Structure 1
Amino acid sequence: MALISAVTFSQNITKVWESDSLFLKPESALYDSEKNIVYISNINGEYLAKDGNGFISKLKTNGEIEVLKWVDGLDNPQGMGLYRQKLYVADINRVVRIDTRTAKIDKVYHADNAVFLNDITVDANGDIYVSDCFGNKIYKISDEKMNVWIESDFLSKPNGLLCTKNDVLVLNMESKRAFAINKLTKKSHQLFSGIDNLDGIVADGRNGYIVSGAWQGQLFIIDADGGKKLLADLGKEKIIVADIEYIADENLLIVPTLNKTVIGFRLSD
């Protein structure tokens, strides 16, 4: 891990570490609280290429890489979800399930009509929602079956997903709008709008959210009423912010850069 001095981007966010430059297009981060480890998906190749080059890494919360190629043989691994020691990974038109105890792929869910499966979120009851960014659909894995859950005009390159108690939150990259979709009725309402390249969304532990605008390198705080505040503009440092993770207990925001590193930022009041 590269030793760096802390750099403050705003009064609320401070860069505290940057990993060694060993990752290969790191796209998504997901924290496993039981193991106190962060999983990182690495595309390692061209987007949507079924090349078998993709892999999952294990990263410590201090920025040290524990295992670079923990599970390999994937194609274009993107968002991830975790439920009962099973890691679910979106991989073009399939979701790969990995047993975190053995680091073995134990099931593959196929969605042959999907174009580009992007993000994953998991409900408290184990239902898994998966966005198809280019297919403008959201899939659901329930009772071991993967089917289209919703297809609607308000979906416009759906990317980041997040389950709350009653809703599935979805970020649309193309329309720059975010919606909450009721899990039971599938009725939706807009949360906020006006952010380019919407990618990742995580709960901030304070009844709000942190979202990323990927290509321009922006991070925003979204309050409970949908108000948005720019947290950091990392584009000035030529940093892309992909599918982020936030560990509320440590005020630690983890940012895959789609380049060679993952960066850790500490948030403060």
Structure 2
Amino acid sequence: MNLQIKRFLISATLSTFLYPAISLAADAKTVKMVAKRIIIDNVGLMTPESIEYYAAEDVYLVSNINGNALAAEGNGFISKIRPDGSVVKLKWIDGTQNNVHLNAPKGIEIHHGNLYVTDINQIQIFALPSGKQKASINIKGSTFLNGITSGNGNFVYVTDSDLTAGKGSYASSGSDAIYKVWPNGKYELIIQDKNMGRPNGIIASGKELTVVSFGSGEVYRIDANNKRHAMPTPPKGGLDGLLKLDDGRLLISSWGASALYVLNNDNTYSILADSLDAPADLGFDTKRQRVLIPLFKLNKLVFLPL
């Protein structure tokens, strides 16, 4: 299918000339605004993978892998960042602490007073607002738990992106799956299929799920009977984060395009923002109406007002 590509933001190169960088802060951190983007840099982030808006405190929570994404080294951490880019506490939840079990945190989700964190083959659960650990759930058979979203009840859905250690890099483990996880430690395998294309970002709407895949670059819907239905595929893959706007449009981050795609309601794709190196799991600030984007490889955050 030929998909019409509409660009409704100018490229970052041109933007730099039309909208010079504005320094909003100095010293230990750098906060810049370039063509409506706020860029947070040099604050100590270490491989930021996911970001979530915590409305109760008006702050952002950021997961930091801090090393090998598959290594259970016990040094991952969760940062607490203010909307202006200043740091409340870099290692608010710190895997090196004796009372914390956290290795290589990826997707995070706030749900029913808990912070859920995907962590290799485990789900870590922390109480809010204290940040104290409540549970560590082993998901048998999983290898790379990644995307996470709230369910319609006291549970979350989690994707397994099918990665394991390979020669010099990563390899397929054949564990592509989606799980349903409860805070009491119970979990259920919803669907497992090696042809899911390494599922990553996920959102739930009632009993239906929408998923983007990092490996195959597919977008698909999973119905209440766990059947997959193909949706329009963007021009480039490496799909990671997924958000649904109130008007029904989907925002999808793409490593392949170094961009943030919009899947419009007429099934066409637009590019909301480009020149984003390895944009990972997306968050959304409902107060300021801004998209929150971690740049996985650059240890930066980008805040993009809609």
Same fold (TM over 0.5): yes
Please give the per-residue CA displacement for 1:72-96, whole angstroms capped at 9, x wherever unaligned.
Answer: 1111100011112100000000000
Shift of 1:174: 1.7
Match of 2:78 among 39, 47, 56: 56
What's the counterpart of residue 34 of structure 2?
7
Q: CA RMSD in A?
A: 1.8
Map residues 21-32 of structure 1 onto 2, 5 A cutoff: 21-32=43-54
CA distance 1:49–1:153, change in 2 (3 Å) = closer
What's the counterpart of residue 169 of structure 2?
none
Is 1:211 aligned to 2:252, yes or no?
yes
Shift of 1:173: 1.5
Q: Distance in 1 between matches of 2:255 and 2:59?
A: 23
Greater strand share, structure number: 1
What's the counterpart of residue 85 of structure 1?
113
Alpha carbons 2:146, 2:200 under 8 Å: kept: yes
Match of 2:280 among 229, 234, 242: 242
Map residues 186-225 of structure 1 onto 2, 5 A cutoff: 186-194=226-234, 195-214=236-255, 216-225=257-266
What's the counterpart of residue 262 of structure 1?
301
Q: Distance in 2 between matches of 1:245 and 1:221?
A: 15
Structure 2: state its 5+ residue gaps. 1-28, 96-101, 163-174
Corresponding residue SS for 2:80:
strand
Alpha carbons 2:107, 2:118 under 8 Å: kept: yes
What's the counterpart of residue 114 of structure 1?
142
Corresponding residue SS for 1:175:
coil
Q: Distance in 1 between matches of 2:267 and 2:208?
A: 15
Corresponding residue SS for 2:265:
coil
CA distance 1:203–1:247, change in 2 (3 Å) = farther
Corresponding residue SS for 2:38:
strand
Q: Distance in 1 between matches of 2:267 and 2:71?
A: 36
Counting matched residue pairs gives 257
Alpha carbons 1:63, 1:263 under 8 Å: kept: no
Structure 1: state its 5+ residue gaps. 9-13
What's the counterpart of residue 161 of structure 2?
133
What's the counterpart of residue 94 of structure 2?
72
Map residues 143-158 of structure 1 onto 2, 5 A cutoff: 144=184, 145-152=186-193, 154-158=195-199
Shift of 1:254: 1.0
- Bigger Cα Rg: 2
Corresponding residue SS for 2:133:
strand
Q: Distance in 1 between matches of 2:84 and 2:74?
A: 29
CA distance 1:85–1:262, change in 2 (3 Å) = same
CA distance 1:224–1:142, change in 2 (3 Å) = farther
What's the counterpart of residue 6 of structure 2?
none
Amino acid at match of 1:244: L
Task: Percent identity, please.
Answer: 27
Shift of 1:203: 1.7
CA distance 1:77–1:143, change in 2 (3 Å) = closer
